[in-house]
Structure 1
Amino acid sequence: MAYLTWWATAFTLESYQFNEMATGLVVIPIWIPQATFVIGCWLLLATVLDELLTVAQGQRPHYQQAVEERHARGDFSADV
């Protein structure tokens, strides 16, 4: 995930530096739509690192805790 984030960021910065424009009906700088992908990559990387630190500290992952809490309430609807 870190490599993808680095690559996407570098690619988008390159598009910005060269002032690349979209070839279509609406001509806009291509870095604008690429930036949404970069933001998503950074958010996913932060989430993955958070889960990694949680597990490295000996705790259960958040997604596992959520399932156990739902089962403790008697809600098994997502397991069907």
Structure 2
Amino acid sequence: MTRRLLTRLYDLAGLLAGLCLVGIGVTIIVQIVGRLMGVTVDSTESAGLLLAATMFFGLAHTFQHGGHVRITLAVHPLPPGLRRGAEIFNCVVAGAAVCYLAWNITDLALQSYEYHDVSPGLLAIPFWIPQAAAAAGVILFAVSILDELIWIIAGRPPRYDGDPDSEITHSE
């Protein structure tokens, strides 16, 4: 049950990242069409905010599917026991760093909401909206790393390693 829920959350985050990419494309097309029709449409801010959302929403999904850059040259040659220890160490360090980042981005979004900060461009978008998307993406990334840490501590091979026996679809 929990595995299925986490898998769906990671996939939902990947879907949101993809939808944000589509949003960037639509925003740019609207700007181009507007220029052809003699209308000024400022898409810089909205495209930039969608890009940030794309990046942060994509972190957990990409991590769970082995898309993040890892130091495999240093980890793969190790004997299985040391390799497992290195993977645990990597997840602990990454988990701590990403949890710290998640805490601070969430705090920043809450402060922006409290002080009614808005972007300085033509659209005047409240900053808490893209910051909340970033916070949600980083929180899910932290959950993903901690999930992987627990998975590896339980003696299973890392799912992000591309091992067919360690697919994220396990029902455990």
TM-score, structure 2 as length reference: 0.38
Task: Judge conservation of contact 2:116–2:126 (CA < 8 Å) in 1.
Answer: yes
Q: Which residue of structure 1 lines up, in the alignment, with residue 120 of structure 2?
A: 23
* Partner of residue 9, structure 1: 106
1:29 to partner: Cα distance: 1.0
Alignment partner of 1:69 is 2:145: no
Contact 2:102 2:138 in 1 (8 A): yes
Cα deviation code 1:12-66 (max 9, x no counterpart): 10000011111001012111111111111011011001000001111111123xx
Question: What letter is aligned with 1:10?
Answer: D
2:153 is the alignment partner of 1:49: no
Q: Runs in 1 of length 4+ with deviation above 3 angstroms?
A: none
Question: What is the number of residues matched between the two proteins?
Answer: 68
The alignment yields a C-alpha RMSD, in angstroms, of 1.4
> Structure 1, unaligned stretches of length 5 or more?
71-80
Which amino acid is the alignment partner of residue 24 of structure 1?
Answer: G
Q: Which runs of 5+ in 2 are unaligned?
A: 1-97, 166-172
**TM-score normalised by length of structure 1:** 0.78
Higher helix share: 2
Identify which of structures 1 and 2 has the higher relative contact order when contacts are C-alpha pairs closer than 8 Å and 6+ apart.
2
Distance in 2 between residues matched to 1:54 and 1:68, nearest whole Å:
14
